[in-house]
C-alpha cells in the first residue's frame, strides 16, 4: 500500500490511496509492462513499496502504469499528489539521448470499475511531470534519493469515476506514493447559521453558492448564504440569524437568558436585566412579569418598567358663567410612573330626591347629548375643559376621572376621580332661528316663529323689531307679544320690511334673530269675507272689545252673516269663544274653525295611546310650502254614530278657535275621507302627570313654577275667551320637548264622560271629584273660578311630581273632608308661597279665589325673584334654607309689616314657622 497523508480542507477519494497496478495499457508498441513493484528504504530507513521503471538505455519507451477505478464521490475537481524519485540522466553512466527526465500523467473517466483493457488513446493527458530542479543535482556516488512531490488537478465531472495512468517515456523513476483527493469548504457556523461541508466547484474559479440553516433557538434575519471557493475557503457571507426571544448568542450558539433577565425580540442583541417593578424566575424569559400592584399596558414595550394607574385628579375648580362652566384641575399626585394620563369628564344633572326620603340623597341622570365639551369630553390631555349649552338654573355634578395606559389592565372598576357640583346661572334665551309669514295683506303681515332652541327659562314675552328695508335701522318699530305670532298692521303696501325677533325670560332679553325680509302686497283687504271664518278673522284683528259668552251664542245660533255684521260693530282686540254646538249645522262649525287637510300630506308613524273615540297616533304633516312638522293624530273609529261624529269633531271646532303658546294647537282635520282625523301639534313628552312621575324629583323649583306659569297663561287665555275647561288636571296637560306645558282635551260632551277620573254623581253626572270645586260638584256651577280650583289641584300635582290628590281616599271621603275645610297639605319641599297660592285657589267662596290673571302675575313675580321660593314647607327642617330669618321670609312674600306680630306670637325662627297652618 502506498503511504497517504491527509490534507486539511480536502478529502481523500473513497478507497484512495489506490494500489497502483502495473498492467497493460493498450499501446502501439509493446504490451509487456515495464513498471516493477520494488521495496526500498525511505529517508528514515523505513521500508516502502514503490513502482519503478528505468529503461533509459533503450529508445522509444512507452510504459504505462494505471490505478484501479476511483469513484468520484461527488467531487468535480480532483487533485493528484504524486511523490516520486527520478534519476538525473547525466548521473547515469553510458546513457545516450534516449534518457528522459519526465513522465506523463493521464486520466480516463468511466462509469465502470472493471475495465480491464483501456485503449491508450482513451486516456487524456493531464500534464508532463518533471522532477524538481534540486533533484537533478545528485551527489554522484552517494546516490541520495531525493523525493519529489508534484500536485496536478483535473476536472472530473462526466462519469461516476475515473482511472489515472502514468506514462514513462524512458526515464528512471520510482513512484513512491499517489494521493488522490478533492477539496471541500468545511462545515462552519457563520452569523448563527450552519453551513455544511461543501465540495468545491469543477473549475478553479467556480464559487458554489450554499444556503445556511439557522442554529437551534434562532430564527432567520435574512437568508444566510456563503460561497464555497475552489480552494476550500468560504467567501462572502450574506444574511444570518438572530437568537429567538428568550435566548442570546454565546459562542456561536443561542443560550437561554438566565433568571432576572429577559429578551423580548429576536433582534435584541442580548438578554437584558428585568426593568423596574418586574421579575423573571425561569430561564429563557421573553418578558418579565410585573410585581403585584404594577401593570403593563398592551402597547408598553417589555423594556418598560411596570407602572400603576394614576391617583385622582386634584384641586378641581369650577367657574360658572351663565350656562357655561369652566372646569380646571391639577394632575394626579401619583402618575403611576407613566406620562400618558388622560381625563374624562362625567356630567350629571342631580336633583335632591328628598321629597319622600328624609335623607338628602340625590337622583342623578346623565346630562343630555346637547351639552358641549371643549376641547372634548373624553380622552382629554389638557387639565381644562369648557362645558357649555347647559340648562339655566340647574344643578350639575361634574366628575373628572383620570386614567392612564394601565387603568384597564389594573382591572380597577371606576377610575379615580374628583367631583364638583355647580348650579348654573340664569342665561338669556338663544335667538329665534326662523320667522315665517302666515298671512300677507297690503297693510299687514301675520308672522310666526318657533320658541328659541334654548329658552333657558320661561319665556315671558317676545320683542319684534321691524323697519322698512330702505330705511335701514334709522327708524324702527318695536312690538311685544306673549305668543309666538304677531299681526303687524299699519304697514305700507308693496313694501319690504325687515324683522328681528328676540325672546325675554327672567334673565333678560336674548339676542335678536337674524333679519327676515317680507313684503306687503297689493291685494285688496277682505273687509267682509264669506261666512263666519272671515268674520272671525275680523274679530281677531279687532282691538279692546268685550262681548259676553251668551251674546255670541245668540249671534251664531241665528246666522253667521249676522255675526259677521255684529263683529264689525264691536270694538277691536277681543277673542271670544264660540260654542260649536250653537251651530245649526255642526259641519259649518268645523269648516269655520278648522282647516281641512288632505290625507296624503299626513304620514302616520306609530300609535301612542287610546282616546275616547279611537287611537291616538304620532306622525308627520307636510303642508305645501311649509316645512314638515311632527303631529299627533286622533282618529274616530269606524262604526260611529252621528252623535259620536259630532262630539269627536267638536273638540277640533273648539281647539281651532284658540291660538296661544300654552294651548294645544290644531293643525287641521280630515273629514272628507275615513277615518275622520284631528291633527294637532305633537307634544314629545306626553301628558304632564305621567311625565312628572317619570322624572320624580328631577326639576328645580323654578322649572316647576315655569310649567305652572305656562298652564296659568293658557288658562288665562281660555278664561279671557270665556271658555270654561271643566276638566283641568295634570293628565289633560301635554308637555313638549322644551318642557312647555299646553292645555288640551277640549270638547263638550266629554265633560266629563271620557275622563276615567270622572265619577258619576246622580245630581250632576260625571265629575272628576278630586279636581272639581265643591260648587261644581254640588250644583253644577262650572265657572272660571271652578277652573281656578282645579288649577290649584294641578299645582299640587306638579309640585308633588304627579302624586294622586288625596292619595287613596275615596271620592266620598274627599268630598266630605273638603266640605269640612280640609285642604291638601304642602308637598315635600314645596315653597311656602306656592302652597299659599294653592290654598287661595281652594277658597270655599269662589269669588275669593284669585283670577288666572292674578295667578299669572304672582308666578311671574316668583320667577323674577327666585329667592322667594327658597322657604319651603317641609317635614325635613334642613331642607329649608337655614340662613333665612323670619323677617327675610316675610319680606320674600311681601308681608314684612307683620314682622312685629310674628315676633310677639313667638315665631322667631324658620322651624317655628313649620307649625303654621293655613288657618
Which residues are catalytic, by number?
727
* Residue 627 CB coordination number (10 Å): 8
Look up cell 323689531; give the residue. Answer: 465
Buried b (16+ CB within 10 A) or exposed e, 585-608: ebebbbbbbbeebeeebbeeeeee
Q: How far is the CB of 668 from ligand ACK (least distance, A)?
A: 13
Which one of the spans 34-42, 606-614, 786-794, 865-873 is the region binding ligand ACK (CB under 6 A)?
Answer: 606-614
Cα separation, 821 vs 12, in Å, equals 132
Residues within window 689-708 making contact with ligand ACK, judged by CB under 6 A: 690
Instruction: Give the CB-nearest residue to ligand ACK.
Output: 609
- In the complex with ligand ACK, the residue whose CB is nearer, 424 or 662, is 662
Does a cis peptide bond (omega within 30 degrees of 0) precede residue 675? yes
Cα separation, 41 vs 50, in Å, equals 10
Cα separation, 630 vs 604, in Å, equals 10
Does a cis peptide bond (omega within 30 degrees of 0) precede residue 17? yes
Q: How far is the CB of 670 from ligand ACK (least distance, A)?
A: 16
Cα separation, 794 vs 729, in Å, equals 6
Rg (CA), the chain: 58
Look up cell 299646553; give the residue. Answer: 742
Which one of the spans 407-415, 587-595, 681-689, 781-789 is the region binding ligand ACK (CB under 6 A)?
Answer: 681-689
Taking CB under 6 A as the criterion, the residue among 167, 687, 698, 785 binding ligand ACK is: 687
145 labeled part of a ligand binding site = no
Q: For 550-556, which contacts have Cβ atoms below 8 Å and span 24 or more sequence positions? A: 552/576, 552/577, 552/578, 553/578, 553/579, 553/582, 556/532, 556/582, 556/583
Q: How far is the CB of 684 from ligand ACK (least distance, A)?
A: 7
Binding mask 625-664 for ligand ACK (x = CB under 6 A): -------x-------------------------------x
Which one of the spans 268-276, 440-448, 460-468, 605-613 is the region binding ligand ACK (CB under 6 A)?
Answer: 605-613
Cα separation, 503 vs 513, in Å, equals 9
Class of residue 615 by CB neighbours under 10 A (exposed 0-12, middle 13-18, buried 19+) = middle
- Non-local CB neighbours of 832 within 8 Å, separated by 6+ positions: 826, 871, 872, 873, 889, 893, 913
- In the complex with ligand ACK, the residue whose CB is nearer, 138 or 679, is 679
Taking CB under 6 A as the criterion, the residue among 373, 682, 723, 907 binding ligand ACK is: 682
- In the complex with ligand ACK, the residue whose CB is nearer, 72 or 731, is 731
Which one of the spans 305-313, 680-688, 709-717, 892-900 is the region binding ligand ACK (CB under 6 A)?
Answer: 680-688
Nearest residue to 420 via CA among 493, 315, 499, 505: 315
178 labeled part of a ligand binding site = no
Q: Judged by CB under 6 A, how many residues of this single chain contact ligand ACK?
A: 13
Query: DSSP of 754-766, one letter per residue?
Result: T-TTEEEETTTEE
Binding mask 475-514 for ligand ACK (x = CB under 6 A): ----------------------------------------
Taking CB under 6 A as the criterion, the residue among 239, 686, 774, 866 binding ligand ACK is: 686
Binding mask 306-335 for ligand ACK (x = CB under 6 A): ------------------------------
260 labeled part of a ligand binding site = no
Taking CB under 6 A as the criterion, the residue among 177, 520, 671, 680 binding ligand ACK is: 680
609 labeled part of a ligand binding site = yes
517 beta partners: 498
Sign of CA dihedral 404, 406, 408, 412: negative
- In the complex with ligand ACK, the residue whose CB is nearer, 317 or 607, is 607
Cα separation, 108 vs 692, in Å, equals 114
- Non-local CB neighbours of 24 within 8 Å, separated by 6+ positions: 31, 32, 33, 64, 117
Q: How far is the CB of 686 from ligand ACK (least distance, A)?
A: 3
- In the complex with ligand ACK, the residue whose CB is nearer, 622 or 861, is 622
**Helix, strand or coil for residue 215?**
coil
608 labeled part of a ligand binding site = yes
Nearest residue to 175 via CA among 108, 120, 103: 103
94 labeled part of a ligand binding site = no
Which one of the spans 398-406, 461-469, 603-611, 709-717 is the region binding ligand ACK (CB under 6 A)?
Answer: 603-611
- In the complex with ligand ACK, the residue whose CB is nearer, 535 or 683, is 683
501 labeled part of a ligand binding site = no
- In the complex with ligand ACK, the residue whose CB is nearer, 177 or 680, is 680
Residues within window 609-628 making contact with ligand ACK, judged by CB under 6 A: 609, 611, 616
Q: Are 599 and 670 in contact (CB under 8 A)?
A: yes
Query: DSSP of 107-168, one letter per residue?
Result: EEEES-S-----BGGG-EEEEEEE--HHHH---TTT-PPPPEEEEEEEE--SSSEEEEEEEE
252 labeled part of a ligand binding site = no
Which one of the spans 167-175, 607-615, 798-806, 856-864 is the region binding ligand ACK (CB under 6 A)?
Answer: 607-615
133 labeled part of a ligand binding site = no
- In the complex with ligand ACK, the residue whose CB is nearer, 567 or 744, is 744
By CB under 6 A, is residue 734 in contact with ligand ACK?
yes
Cα separation, 372 vs 383, in Å, equals 16
**Helix, strand or coil for residue 801?**
coil
- In the complex with ligand ACK, the residue whose CB is nearer, 401 or 750, is 750
Q: Are 194 and 213 in contact (CB under 8 A)?
A: yes
613 labeled part of a ligand binding site = yes
Does a cis peptide bond (omega within 30 degrees of 0) precede residue 343? no
Q: Are 396 and 348 in contact (CB under 8 A)?
A: yes
Taking CB under 6 A as the criterion, the residue among 608, 748, 764, 809 binding ligand ACK is: 608
Q: How far is the CB of 691 from ligand ACK (least distance, A)?
A: 7
Which one of the spans 676-684, 777-785, 862-870, 891-899 is the region binding ligand ACK (CB under 6 A)?
Answer: 676-684
Cα separation, 95 vs 88, in Å, equals 11
- In the complex with ligand ACK, the residue whose CB is nearer, 179 or 665, is 665
Which one of the spans 181-189, 536-544, 685-693, 911-919 is the region binding ligand ACK (CB under 6 A)?
Answer: 685-693
Q: How far is the CB of 631 from ligand ACK (least distance, A)?
A: 8
Q: Are 564 and 541 in contact (CB under 8 A)?
A: no
- In the complex with ligand ACK, the residue whose CB is nearer, 349 or 655, is 655
Return binding residues for ATP.
608-616, 634
**Contact positions vs ligand ACK (CB under 6 A):** 608-609, 611, 616, 632, 664, 680, 682-683, 686-687, 690, 734
Amino acid at each position: 500500500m502506498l503511504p497517504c497523508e491527509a490534507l486539511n480542507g480536502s478529502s481523500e477519494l473513497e478507497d484512495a490511496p489506490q494500489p497502483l497496478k502495473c498492467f497493460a495499457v493498450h499501446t502501439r508498441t509493446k504490451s509487456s509492462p515495464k513498471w516493477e513493484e520494488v521495496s526500498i528504504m525511505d529517508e528514515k530507513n523505513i521500508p516502502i513499496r514503490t513502482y519503478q521503471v528505468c529503461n533509459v538505455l533503450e529508445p522509444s519507451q512507452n510504459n504505462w502504469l494505471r490505478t484501479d477505478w476511483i469513484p468520484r464521490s461527488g467531487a468535480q475537481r480532483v487533485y493528484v499528489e504524486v511523490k516520486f524519485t527520478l534519476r538525473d540522466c547525466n548521473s547515469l553512466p553510458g546513457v545516450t539521448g534516449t534518457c528522459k527526465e519526465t513522465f506523463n500523467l493521464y486520466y480516463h473517466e468511466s462509469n465502470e470499475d472493471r475495465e480491464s483493457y483501456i485503449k491508450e488513446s482513451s486516456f487524456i493527458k493531464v500534464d508532463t511531470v518533471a522532477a524538481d530542479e534540486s533533484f537533478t543535482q545528485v551527489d554522484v556516488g552517494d546516490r541520495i534519493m531525493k523525493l519529489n512531490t508534484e500536485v496536478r488537478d483535473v476536472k472530473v465531472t462526466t462519469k461516476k469515476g475515473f482511472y489515472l495512468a502514468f506514462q514513462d517515456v524512458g526515464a528512471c523513476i520510482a513512484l513512491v506514493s499517489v494521493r488522490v483527493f478533492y477539496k471541500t469548504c468545511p462545515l462552519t457556523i457563520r452569523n448563527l447559521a450552519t453551513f455544511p461541508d461543501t465540495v468545491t466547484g469543477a473549475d478553479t474559479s467556480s464559487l458554489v453558492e450554499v444556503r445556511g440553516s439557522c442554529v437551534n433557538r434562532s430564527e432567520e434575519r435574512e437568508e444566510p448564504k456563503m460561497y464555497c471557493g475552489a480552494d476550500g475557503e468560504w467567501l462572502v457571507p450574506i444574511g444570518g440569524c438572530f437568537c429567538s426571544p428568550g435566548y442570546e448568542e454565546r459562542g456561536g450558539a443561542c443560550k437561554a437568558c438566565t433568571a432576572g433577565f429577559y429578551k423580548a425580540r429576536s433582534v435584541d442583541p442580548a438578554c437584558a436585566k428585568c426593568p423596574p417593578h418586574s421579575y423573571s424566575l425561569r430561564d429563557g424569559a421573553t418578558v418579565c412579569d410585573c410585581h403585584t400592584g404594577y401593570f403593563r399596558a398592551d402597547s408598553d414595550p417589555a423594556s418598560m418598567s411596570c407602572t400603576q394607574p394614576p391617583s385622582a385628579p386634584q384641586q378641581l375648580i369650577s367657574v360658572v358663567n351663565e350656562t357655561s362652566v369652566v372646569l380646571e384641575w391639577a394632575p394626579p399626585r401619583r402618575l403611576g410612573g407613566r406620562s400618558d394620563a388622560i381625563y374624562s369628564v362625567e356630567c350629571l344633572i342631580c336633583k335632591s330626591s328628598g321629597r319622600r326620603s328624609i335623607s338628602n340623597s340625590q337622583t342623578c341622570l346623565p346630562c343630555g347629548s346637547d351639552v358641549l365639551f371643549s376641547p372634548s369630553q373624553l380622552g382629554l390631555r389638557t387639565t381644562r375643559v369648557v362645558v357649555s349649552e347647559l340648562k339655566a338654573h340647574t344643578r350639575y355634578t361634574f366628575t373628572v376621572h383620570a386614567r392612564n395606559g394601565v387603568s384597564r389592565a389594573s382591572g380597577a372598576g371606576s377610575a379615580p376621580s374628583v367631583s364638583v357640583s355647580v348650579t348654573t346661572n340664569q342665561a338669556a334665551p338663544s335667538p329665534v332661528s326662523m320667522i315665517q309669514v302666515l298671512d300677507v295683506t297690503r297693510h299687514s303681515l301675520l308672522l310666526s316663529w318657533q320658541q328659541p332652541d334654548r329658552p333657558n327659562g320661561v319665556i315671558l314675552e317676545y320683542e319684534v323689531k321691524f323697519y322698512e328695508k330702505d330705511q335701514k335701522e334709522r327708524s324702527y318699530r318695536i312690538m311685544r307679544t306673549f305668543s309666538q305670532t304677531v299681526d303687524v298692521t299699519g304697514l305700507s303696501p308693496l313694501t319690504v320690511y325687515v324683522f328681528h325677533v328676540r325672546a325675554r325670560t327672567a334673565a333678560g332679553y336674548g339676542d335678536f334673530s337674524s333679519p327676515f325680509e317680507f313684503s306687503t302686497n297689493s291685494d285688496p283687504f277682505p273687509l267682509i269675507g264669506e261666512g263666519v271664518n272671515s268674520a272671525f278673522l275680523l274679530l281677531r284683528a279687532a282691538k279692546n272689545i268685550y262681548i259676553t259668552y251668551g251674546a255670541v251664542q245668540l249671534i251664531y245660533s241665528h246666522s253667521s252673516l249676522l255675526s259677521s255684521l255684529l263683529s264689525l260693530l264691536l270694538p277691536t282686540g277681543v277673542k271670544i269663544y264660540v260654542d260649536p254646538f250653537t251651530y245649526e249645522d255642526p259641519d259649518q262649525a268645523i269648516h269655520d274653525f278648522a282647516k281641512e287637510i288632505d290625507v296624503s300630506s299626513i304620514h302616520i308613524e306609530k300609535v301612542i295611546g287610546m282616546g275616547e273615540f279611537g287611537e291616538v297616533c304620532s306622525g308627520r304633516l307636510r303642508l305645501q310650502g311649509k316645512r314638515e312638522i311632527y303631529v299627533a293624530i286622533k282618529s274616530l273609529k269606524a262604526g260611529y254614530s252621528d252623535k259620536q261624529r259630532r262630539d269627536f269633531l267638536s273638540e277640533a271646532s273648539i281647539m281651532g278657535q284658540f291660538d296661544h303658546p300654552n294651548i294645544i294647537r290644531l293643525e287641521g282635520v280630515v273629514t272628507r275621507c275615513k277615518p275622520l282625523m284631528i291633527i294637532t301639534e305633537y307634544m314629545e313628552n306626553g301628558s304632564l302627570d305621567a311625565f312628572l312621575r317619570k322624572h320624580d324629583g328631577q326639576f328645580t323649583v323654578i322649572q316647576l313654577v315655569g310649567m305652572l306659569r305656562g298652564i296659568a297663561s293658557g288658562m288665562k287665555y281660555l278664561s279671557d275667551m270665556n271658555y270654561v275647561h271643566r276638566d283641568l288636571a295634570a293628565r289633560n296637560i301635554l308637555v313638549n320637548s322644551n318642557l312647555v306645558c299646553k292645555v288640551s282635551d277640549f270638547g263638550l260632551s266629554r265633560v266629563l264622560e271620557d275622563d276615567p277620573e270622572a265619577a258619576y254623581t246622580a245630581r250632576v253626572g260625571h265629575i272628576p271629584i278630586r279636581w272639581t270645586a265643591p260648587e261644581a260638584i254640588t250644583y253644577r256651577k262650572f265657572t272660571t273660578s271652578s277652573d281656578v280650583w282645579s288649577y290649584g289641584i294641578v299645582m299640587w300635582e306638579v309640585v308633588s311630581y304627579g302624586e294622586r290628590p288625596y292619595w287613596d281616599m275615596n271620592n266620598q271621603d274627599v268630598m266630605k273632608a273638603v266640605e269640612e275645610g280640609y285642604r291638601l297639605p304642602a308637598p315635600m319641599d314645596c315653597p311656602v308661597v306656592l302652597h299659599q297660592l294653592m290654598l287661595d285657589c281652594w277658597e270655599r267662596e269662589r269669588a275669593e279665589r284669585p283670577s288666572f290673571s292674578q295667578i299669572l302675575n304672582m308666578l311671574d313675580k316668583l320667577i323674577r325673584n327666585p329667592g322667594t321660593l327658597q322657604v319651603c314647607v317641609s317635614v325635613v327642617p334642613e331642607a329649608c334654607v337655614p340662613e333665612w330669618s323670619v323677617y327675610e321670609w316675610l319680606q320674600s312674600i311681601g308681608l314684612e309689616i307683620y314682622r312685629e306680630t310674628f315676633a310677639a306670637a313667638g315665631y322667631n325662627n324658620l322651624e317655628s314657622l313649620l307649625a303654621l297652618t293655613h288657618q
